[in-house]
């Protein structure tokens, strides 16, 4: 008789060929080790007010972590590409999302603005 699956309790035995196996315990303990990521040195602030990346001293800071508030340059950011959407930008230290520092955000236009640019006709806006 061939078994492919069976529930065993502590103290039960089973045979695998000529080998007898005794189940001593069915308790499972899982432990996840905590990894300490080395923190980089504080960023360098230039006389013009710009900040240089702690990991790449020649690169300007472009992003800041929303969780640990660490600043970093563009190459330091971990990017995860998602199908059908924008890539996810994450902090290399704590894996939380990062946000771009400075710069003007793109202004989203409504449907009317889209039509004005596409159709090349002027519409009245109220």
90: tokens are: 């994450």
Mean pLDDT per 10-residue interval, the chain, length 126 residues: 79 88 86 78 82 89 91 93 87 92 66 66 58
- pLDDT of amino acid 98: 95
Quote the pTM value. 0.50
| CA gap 70, 43 in Å, rounded | 9
| CA dist., res. 116 & res. 100, Å (int) | 30
Tell whether the torsion through CA atoms of 118, 119, 124 and 126 is positive or negative.
negative
């Amino acid at each position: 008789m061939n078994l492919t699956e069976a529930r065993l309790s502590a103290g039960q035995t089973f045979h695998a060929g000529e080998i007898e196996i005794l189940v001593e315990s069915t308790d499972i303990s899982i432990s996840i080790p905590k990894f300490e990521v080395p923190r980089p040195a504080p960023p360098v602030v230039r006389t013009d007010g710009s900040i240089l990346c702690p990991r790449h001293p020649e690169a300007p800071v472009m992003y800041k972590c929303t969780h640990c508030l660490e600043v970093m340059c563009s190459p330091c950011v971990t990017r995860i590409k998602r199908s059908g959407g924008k890539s996810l930008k994450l902090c290399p230290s704590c894996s939380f999302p990062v946000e771009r520092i400075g710069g003007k955000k793109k202004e989203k236009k409504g449907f009317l603005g889209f039509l004005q640019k596409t159709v090349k006709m002027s519409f009245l806006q109220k």
